[in-house]
Amino acid sequence: MSDQNKEYLILRDNNEYEVIIGLEVHAQVLSESKLFSSSPTKFGSEPNTQVSLVDAAFPGMLPVINEFCIKQAIKTGIGLNAKINNKSIFDRKNYFYADLPQGYQISQYKNPIVGEGSVTLDMPDGEKMIGIERLHLEQDAGKSIHDIDPQNTLVDLNRSGVALMEIVSKPDLRSLDEVNAYIKKLRSIMRYLGTCDGNMQEGSLRADVNVSVRKKGETELGTRCEIKNVNSIKFMQMAIDYEANRQVDIIEEGGSIDQETRLFDTKKNETRSMRTKEDAHDYRYFPDPDLLPLELNDDFINEIKKEIPELPDEKKKRFIEKFNLSPYEANILVSDIETSKYFEDVSKKSDVKLATNWITGELFALLNNKSIEITESPITSENLAKLINLIKDGTISGKIAKTVFEIMADSGKDPKNIVEKKGLKQQSDPKELEKIIDKVIIDNPKNVEAYKSGKDKLFGFFVGQVMKQSNGKANPQLVNEILKKKLN
Amino acid sequence: MSEINNLKLCDLVDKIKNKKLSSKEITEAFINRSKKSSKLNSYITDNFDNALNRAKEFDEKPDFNKKIPGIPLAVKDLFCTKNLRTTAGSKILENFIPTYESTVTQNIIDHGGIIIGKLNCDEFAMGSSNETSNYGNVQNPISENLVPGGSSGGSSAALAAKLTPATIGTDTGGSIRQPASFTGTVGLKPTYGSCSRYGIVAFASSLDQAGPMTQDVKDCALLLEVMSSFDTKDSTSVEFTRGDYLNDLNENIKGKKIGIPKEYRVDGMPKEIEDLWEKGIKIIKDNGGDVIDISLPNTNYALPTYYIVAPAEASSNLARYDGVKYGFRSKGENLIDMYEKTRSEGFGDEVKRRIMIGTYVLSSGYYDAYYLKAQKVRRLIKNDFDEAYKKVDAILTPSTPSSAFKIGEKLNDPVSMYLNDIFTVPINLAGIPAISIPAGHDNNGFPLGLQIIGKAFDEQNILNIAYSIEKNIGYKNHINDWWIK
């Protein structure tokens, strides 16, 4: 589906179509309590246990802004290199639905807390900047459950009032790979900042996807369709691919695209019309009279700026400069904050190059196999550093190290203990090695003859024999040196 | 009528502090008179048994340091009261029993007050005659078949009839001051942000303000002290030093500059109101105040502005009454059908009218022409007052353009009904305080009120001016208990 071509184009007869994508990402603010009430926000709680009178919209209940959520939005804005607005306004978006207790959602319409910014993507052919239009704060709705009671719809208000950041991109995305990179980058930035856990399974990150197509070379944007509430990168890509092809087919047949809101059916892998522009809701936005305009002075914003940690882009730069990593390696190591922490811990105590290779190679494979996060790794950063040091000081060979690594993965034990207990220490005593080598030479006179008459390739045979005789513990470098001396 | 019922709030507080009367005696007196006064229909829900127990508890363990120790009070049924039904005058909340207490009623309880019942009001406080209540008309104790004003009509009637020594109302466009004026009582709308809106059923959030309704200005000062507080549960609550209103009450208005706005001399205003206004002006002059002619040029736009802003907010505030979570629910074929039936049957005509107006003015394509423009005019109206207060300390006007009218007289003429609020509405739009005090009678012997408007957070000043006028004007309510037979 997602081809690795640089350009994502849809081809029909002689026409090439470019796909224009913009995302409205809804990111749940990482916060103990809701945007306008003190209810807890714990995921997976029993229905209707995380609900206050404010969340359930009882008569006379009033919203009171949660300052922590404001700070989280500001932090995120800073992470998106965006303008923090000194004045923003909370509006009411009015519509009726059973899981919307107030009959309106408190959101920010004309005056969002965060203005324009940008996100840099690292694509195989270089960096690409994606513009951010705005970030605003809003309340989540509750959840309607249609499949428990045969007669009634049940409503769970646990999510009602939970703080969301809606991050709106400019229509700058051009391919499925860019969508993938963009979501991952956003998630990475927010995890670094601790403003959103980015957990798509739990719904902490969802997106509305805007898609339009145009013939390659055209400069005007085509009419877009909005695909609502897609909750995984894979589904986003499937939905975009389906939708872009649908639009191209219509244009190819001489039709035109209707601006509308569509739903993605993950089972049928297709998008379906939800409502057209004509029957779009009139949300009757107006400033919420229960809340005063949110005014932030520069001192407040500057204080928050001081709390911003090193973000992926800066960290990547530092890794390249300080550790001499390739951009590719640096990218992998900084994409997740926990990985970068792990890497820095290991590299502080051991060789950077080996640390890079072992983490991106063996460790990632292990985590992948076990489907666990790096924070759950059975091999601590300290133990991995020890293992690398054992290689570095010649105590074990790289090959033995892999065996040790496997034992560490199963037991979580200190590599030094494993090496000692299992007697895996490398044989680096030249006299001992010479004995083995002499024996191998004596045992294989024909091969020695052949080697000396020019069959260079047989050198590997001798190395293999020595390793076999030493149960793999011979120091390969020394073996090479001594063998060369003896055979030449 | 027991002698106790004739005592004012401050007198009752004295009697209780001096142990001349017990809380039980006082509470019983007001409950008994309330029970005999069902014809007024001023109560929606009583709390008599519970209140009597509270009174006994108070007498067993009295705390005389409280501001209103052991004093019974009935309150407008717009305040949510814990474990006590709160209807807002609507069918849609006919069985709603809050699990929480509004901040203002909590303040009353914390200061020693005892809630004896919930008083009738226009549905969701939308009305000027108490005729839109789902729980029936309220009779004005002044005369049979006379409206008590609205929306705090049950409050004004119960107060004037002495079923409660004082009461509280809410005022969005005049809902405290107009009924006070119609019943010969005192009513004050504080500065917006003075009394917490937490737990008050919302009508129009940017205009709603709770306030005291009392027999006289002294009582008003005391009750305001009890009600007013900074509350972190209401984002529009303002943190300012609240006055010692009763202690600082002072009838000396010498040198005070009082403005008389020419725009309030509206066409067709009855001569008796004109005379009343002159009487007020004369008292101010006689007591050393300076009377200064001023202009509030945008006054004419206040009523149309109000009838855009208030319904707009109401249309959104009332969206929560949808039959899903609490209150009245009608059975429907599906969700939309349930909504439509619940809201059609649960709301009365006036509420529906305002929801429709509000929905219309917020609709896309009309928002700029109505709501946005109204907000701009609102700013101009506030600027008018700011300008005026560069020259004067307070403003004197009549409270209403006419005295109380007959029940049914204006019910089918909404515009004429809305015109009742012409003198009170600008004050809510500007967010400033104003008090209505009884000042005279019309030819029928119906009460008429004067309104003193102040600067923001300058409640003490208007209380003082009101106190001075009250002392000199010699107003007395003529009530003959016609409803008790």
CA angle A310, A381, A348 (to 5 degrees): 60
Instruction: Calculate mean pLDDT across residues B414-425.
Output: 89
Active site residue B436: no
Instruction: Calculate mean pLDDT across residues A104-119.
Output: 98
Contact B313 A289 (CB under 8 A): yes
Closest chain B CA to residue A66: B235
Judged by a CB distance cut-off of 8 A, whether residue A145 touches chain B is no
- Partners of residue A292 in chain B, C-beta under 8 Å: 235-236
Instruction: Calculate mean pLDDT across residues B109-129.
Output: 98
Instruction: Calculate mean pLDDT across residues B100-125.
Output: 98
Name residue, tokens 């030093």: B241
The residue with greater pLDDT, A25 or A395, is A25
- Partners of residue A61 in chain B, C-beta under 8 Å: 198-199
Average pLDDT value over all residues in chain A = 93
Q: Alpha-carbon distance B317 to A115, whole Å?
A: 29
Total number of domains constituting chain B: 1
What ipTM describes this predicted complex?
Answer: 0.96
Contact B199 A60 (CB under 8 A): yes
Query: How far apart are the CA of A289 and the nearest CA of chain B, in angstroms?
Result: 5
pLDDT in tens, B15-69: 999 999 999 999 999 999 999 999 999 999 999 999 999 999 999 999 999 999 9
How many of the other CB atoms lie within 10 Å of CB of A149?
9
Instruction: Calculate mean pLDDT across residues A138-149.
Output: 93
Contact A60 B204 (CB under 8 A): no
Q: Alpha-carbon distance B108 to B186, whole Å?
A: 18
- Partners of residue A284 in chain B, C-beta under 8 Å: 315-316, 359, 362-364, 367
Domain residue ranges of chain A, discontinuous segments joined by +:
9-305, 310-422, 430-487
Instruction: Calculate mean pLDDT across residues A96-103.
Output: 96
Q: Alpha-carbon distance A217 to A194, whole Å?
A: 41
Residue B430 has pLDDT above 70, yes or no: yes
Residues 165-194 of chain A with CB under 8 A from chain B are none
At A17, the amino acid letter reads Y
Domain CATH code at residue B20: 3.90.1300.10
Q: Alpha-carbon distance B72 to B80, whole Å?
A: 17
Contact B364 A282 (CB under 8 A): yes
What pLDDT is attached to residue A106? 98
Residues 115-134 of chain B with CB under 8 A from chain A are none
- Selecting among B90, B155, B156, B175, the annotated active-site residue is B175
What pLDDT is attached to residue A484? 86
Active site residue B102: no
- Partners of residue A285 in chain B, C-beta under 8 Å: 362, 367
Contact A61 B359 (CB under 8 A): no
Segments forming the whole domain that contains residue B155: 1-485
Contact B206 A289 (CB under 8 A): yes
Q: Alpha-carbon distance A425 to B160, whole Å?
A: 101
Residue A377 has pLDDT above 90, yes or no: yes
Domain A430-487 is of which CATH architecture? Orthogonal Bundle (1.10)
What pLDDT is attached to residue A6? 59
Q: Alpha-carbon distance A232 to A266, whole Å?
A: 10
CB proximity list for A438: less than 8 A, separation 6 or greater: A486
Residue B213 has pLDDT above 60, yes or no: yes
Judged by a CB distance cut-off of 8 A, whether residue A316 touches chain B is no
Torsion of CA B402, B407, B408, B414, to 10 degrees: 40
- Partners of residue A291 in chain B, C-beta under 8 Å: 235-236
Name residue, tokens 């949300």: A283
Active site residue B76: yes
Token digits of residue A158 = 């646990």
What pLDDT is attached to residue A1? 40
DSSP secondary structure of A55-74: TTT-TT------HHHHHHHH
DSSP secondary structure of B386-412: HHHTTT-SEEEEES-SS---BTTSSTT
SS3 B334: coil
A-B Cβ pairs (cutoff 8 Å, strict):
97
Judged by a CB distance cut-off of 8 A, whether residue B359 touches chain A is yes
Closest chain A CA to residue B232: A64
The model's confidence at residue A469, banded by pLDDT at 50, 70 and 90, is: confident
Residue B323 has pLDDT above 90, yes or no: yes
Token digits of residue A401 = 């190290």
The model's confidence at residue B419, banded by pLDDT at 50, 70 and 90, is: confident
Contact A284 B363 (CB under 8 A): yes
Residues 52-91 of chain A with CB under 8 A from chain B are 53, 56-65
Instruction: Calculate mean pLDDT across residues A255-268.
Output: 93
Contact A58 B312 (CB under 8 A): no
How large is the angle between the packed helices A430-443 and A445-452, nearest 10 degrees?
Answer: 90
Contact B324 A155 (CB under 8 A): yes
